[in-house]
Structure 1
Amino acid sequence: MFPDELLYDVENNTWLRISSDNYVTIGVTSLLSALAGRLVRAKLKPPGTTIARGRSLGTLESERFVGPVPSPISGELVQTNQGLIDRPRIINDSPYEKGWIAWIRPMQLSTEKTLLSKAKDAKAPLTERIAQLHVRCFKAFPDREMYEIGTECSAVLVRLNEQMATMRIGEAIHLVSDDPTAYVEMIAWTERTGQSLVDWRKESELFHFIVKRVQ
């Protein structure tokens, strides 16, 4: 959930990766991605802009969220991820890899990186915040939700098939079921249909599945 090789600005939910030539890559955490919901717009500042630590690299928008991306360090903005302009959802799907925000040439890296947290120190406060906010961070961000409480799994799978038929390849659905046989039935269903069970967990009596259409 929080890769070990990164440095984190825990307060602002951003991360930093230092490259061998001292350029840095900046992005947002999976926690921010989950809190924001499905992102629909990314506005990023142009290359050549000088950014002070804590100042915005741009803004992200979803149906329930509009917020800045504060830079964890000071420097010159070298490049932004233009793929986010056309498809901001990449941040939801891959916040630490394909969903990076910007490359920066740092000005005070040796000083400012001491203000950031290593993964081993960041995980506890970030995990605590996830628990406090009741956030679920899955391996894939769902496009749809199915809450099937009190419904037998056979009927749930019929409805899931109906949903899959209207979804595009690459889209995912979050299915919640309280049927005690749900996990076994879901494994059998994925083997029959060839669709992908990307993630699952059990919370109390509820099963949570993330299923992606792959064909």
Structure 2
Amino acid sequence: MTLPNLLIDNCLFPNDYLYDLENLIWIKSLNNTTNNQTNVPKEFLIGITPIYAYITGKINNLKVKPIGSVIERNKSIGSVESLVHFGTIRSPLRGKIVEINESAVDNPKIVNDSPFGNGWIARLVSFNDYDYANSVKKMEDCKDDLLAQIRKYHVKCFRLFPDFQMFEIGTECSATLAKLDEFMEKSMQKGQVIRLVSDDPTADLELLRWADQNHQEIVEILKEKNKAYSGSENNGNKYLFNIIIRKKVD
């Protein structure tokens, strides 16, 4: 029986991937699962989890070692860098790089937007060295660990990773929309994405109306409990809205 993919706080983890929890890395076998011959080269895709992508922030530089490089287990295959973070991508298996995701190298934010899909890092051929089995886990065996990491790092997963963020807590939606208009006009380019966080109870409806009038795109609206809410009308609202907006027109 095929297990369903795992959804944790809007973060989707595929069931057919293996997870290196220590290094926040995934690998996916590209071989026929019925082929268990040890003398047959095995190929894997390797990438980073959404947890790593969130910790790093918007990735503006992805470096991967050249094709043909032999990577030892738990050694660097490359690195990711943002304005606030530099991190090493460590391979959980020993192998040779046979392909690099050049699209991700040219546009590193793809890794943020689609860490399990278009944002894969490299394809490796293994050397019949299957010690990696001790350092990776199937999804069903590490659900609790993934949840713990999401809680630890306060991870938020969205359909598109934001280029910018705007937190408007305790602000009426009309004032928030005025700030949003000004920011998008002055600071954002077409195609860029902003995350707006608001505790205004009408934020979702107002933003949908605003987007329709201004020909902008609401990518996603996520509603969550406001942890700062104390139950008093004078202490904020019960829910927060995370609204992901992509600029479609200048």
Identify which range, 53-62 or 158-167, moves more after superposition: 158-167
Match for residue 118 of structure 2? 98
TM-score with structure 1 length normalisation? Answer: 0.91
Question: After superposition, what is the alpha-carbon deviation per residue over 1:132-163, rounded to whole angstroms, capped at 9, x for unaligned?
Answer: 22222222111111111222112212222223
User: Of the candidates 155, 163, 172, which is equivalent to residue 135 of structure 1?
Assistant: 155
Measured after TM superposition, the shift of residue 88 of structure 1 is 1.7
User: Of the candidates 67, 72, 81, which is equivalent to residue 47 of structure 1?
Assistant: 67
Measured after TM superposition, the shift of residue 101 of structure 1 is 0.7
1:182 aligns with 2:215: no
1:16 aligns with 2:37: no
Match for residue 7 of structure 2? none
Measured after TM superposition, the shift of residue 56 of structure 1 is 0.7
User: Of the candidates 91, 103, 107, which is equivalent to residue 127 of structure 2?
Assistant: 107
Match for residue 236 of structure 2? none
Match for residue 33 of structure 1? 53
Match for residue 208 of structure 1? 242
Measured after TM superposition, the shift of residue 175 of structure 1 is 0.6
Identify which range, 199-208 or 92-101, moves more after superposition: 199-208
Aligned alpha-carbon RMSD (Å) = 1.9
- Which blocks of at least 5 consecutive residues in structure 2 are unaligned? 1-11, 33-41, 227-238
Match for residue 149 of structure 1? 169
Measured after TM superposition, the shift of residue 71 of structure 1 is 0.5
TM-score with structure 2 length normalisation? Answer: 0.79
Measured after TM superposition, the shift of residue 114 of structure 1 is 5.7
Instruction: Report the AA paired with residue 173 of structure 1.
Output: I
User: Take 1:170 and 1:89, find their aligned partners in 2: how far apart are those partners?
Assistant: 12
Identify which range, 32-41 or 115-124, moves more after superposition: 115-124
Match for residue 120 of structure 1? 140
Match for residue 80 of structure 1? 100
1:197 aligns with 2:218: yes
User: Take 1:202 and 1:187, find their aligned partners in 2: how far apart are those partners?
Assistant: 18
Identity %: 38
Measured after TM superposition, the shift of residue 100 of structure 1 is 0.9
1:173 aligns with 2:194: yes
Q: How many residues align?
A: 215
User: Take 1:185 and 1:119, find their aligned partners in 2: how far apart are those partners?
Assistant: 39
| Contact 1:73–1:108 (CA under 8 A) maintained in structure 2 | no
Q: Are residues 117 and 185 of structure 1, via their aligned partners in 2, closer, same or farther at CA, if it must alter by over 3 Å? A: same
4+ runs of 1 displaced by more than 4 Å?
none
Question: After superposition, what is the alpha-carbon deviation per residue over 1:54-109, rounded to whole angstroms, capped at 9, x for unaligned?
Answer: 11101111122112100021111111122333322221121111211110001236
Instruction: Report the AA paired with residue 191 of structure 1.
Output: D
Instruction: Report the AA paired with residue 246 of structure 2.
Output: K
User: Take 1:212 and 1:122, find their aligned partners in 2: how far apart are those partners?
Assistant: 34
* 1:59 partner SS: strand
Measured after TM superposition, the shift of residue 47 of structure 1 is 1.0
* 1:97 partner SS: coil
